[in-house]
């Protein structure tokens, strides 16, 4: 199961980053120092294990549908972001509810949204402010990409930046959070767990609280085009004028892992 999950998060042989990635090494001779996110060596290692040969993965377990409740957004502010042409061929949709990520992909094209537990019984020690944020890889290019880790306690300004809403492709809203110092930088103080309310092959609706303010994100896929809408009662919710088409998916800055910047 872990191998399949990793493969679903690989694009151009590189692993998507969710939360902290400390670039730890166990197999020093296999790890690629120049391309730390390239994980093909790990997939090959898993495939070489006898245990893996005896394990059959049934991906239908994760191809589920969620429909918890209907919503009336007539009293909410609505923002529609630029559409993204993602899929040129058919795709599958996967729900990893315990981890908190929903993935639509085929062999070459990928779209995901982060929505779920922050982890560690709500502490979120290695989580970022990434609820409802998206990643998108299509036509061998990143359109939206997670920024990565940055660093830990040696530079709190960088740590806070890479964790922030401003560095992720989540709701476009200017919320001022209390800056976290070295004593509380390994917990999330200003964001709740996310909850998926609707999920299927062509649709998604999720919700999370940011600083106590509830925001919904709605996705729909039609003819390979992803439409993204945000709903909130806050008036400072804004539209993205563009995604990261011109910056290889990067919103502000990018880190390939712990203290690795590009």
7-46 pLDDT per residue, tens = 999 999 999 998 887 655 666 677 777 888 888 888 888 8
Three-state DSSP class for residue 201: coil
Read off the pTM. Answer: 0.92
pLDDT of residue 185: 67
Whole-angstrom distance, CA of residue 66 vs CA of residue 139: 29
Domain boundaries, the chain: 60-261
User: What is the radius of gyration, based on Cα positions, of the chain?
Assistant: 18
- Quick one: tokens of 188? 């999330």
Provide the pLDDT for residue 194: 94
More confident residue, 22 or 251: 251
Return the pLDDT at 130: 94
Reported confidence tier of residue 176, pLDDT bands at 50, 70, 90: confident
Which has the closest alpha carbon to 106: 82, 65, 139?
139
Among all chains, which residue has been given the structure tokens 């085929």? Answer: 106
169 pairs with which residues across the strands? Answer: none
Residue 206 CA to residue 223 CA, distance in Å, equals 22
- Report the C-alpha gap between 102 and 138 in whole angstroms: 17
- Residues of the chain with pLDDT > 70: what percent? 89
Token couple for 207: 């919700």
Four-CA torsion 47, 98, 237, 76, nearest 10 degrees: 140
Read off the pLDDT of each residue in 143-156 and give the average, rounded to a whole number. Answer: 88
The sign of the CA dihedral 82, 107, 47, 25 is negative
How far is residue 12 from each of residues 30, 103, 107, 255, measured CA to CA in Å? 18, 16, 10, 17
Structure tokens at 129: 């402010």
């Amino acid at each position: 199961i872990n191998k399949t999950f990793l493969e679903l998060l690989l694009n151009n042989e590189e692993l998507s980053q969710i939360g902290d990635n400390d670039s730890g090494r166990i197999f020093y001779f296999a790890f690629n120092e120049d391309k730390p996110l390239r994980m093909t060596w790990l997939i090959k290692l898993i495939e070489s294990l006898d245990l893996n040969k005896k394990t059959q993965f049934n991906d239908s377990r994760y191809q589920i549908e969620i429909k918890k409740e209907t919503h009336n957004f007539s009293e909410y502010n609505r923002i529609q972001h630029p559409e993204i042409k993602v899929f040129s061929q058919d795709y599958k949709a996967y729900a990893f509810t315990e981890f908190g990520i929903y993935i639509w992909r085929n062999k070459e094209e990928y779209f995901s949204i982060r929505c779920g537990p922050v982890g560690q019984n709500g502490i979120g020690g290695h989580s970022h402010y990434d609820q409802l944020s998206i990643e998108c890889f299509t036509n061998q290019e990143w359109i939206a990409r997670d920024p990565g880790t940055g660093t830990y306690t040696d530079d709190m300004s960088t740590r806070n930046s890479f964790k922030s809403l401003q560095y992720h492709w989540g709701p476009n809203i200017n919320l001022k959070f209390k800056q976290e110092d070295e004593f509380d930088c390994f917990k999330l103080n200003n964001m709740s767990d996310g909850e998926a309310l609707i999920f299927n092959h062509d649709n998604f609706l999720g919700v999370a609280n940011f600083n106590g303010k509830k925001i919904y994100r709605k996705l729909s896929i039609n003819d390979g085009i992803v439409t993204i809408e945000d709903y909130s009662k806050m008036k400072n919710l804004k539209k993205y004028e563009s995604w990261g088409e011109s910056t290889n998916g990067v919103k502000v800055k990018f880190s390939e892992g712990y203290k690795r910047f590009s």
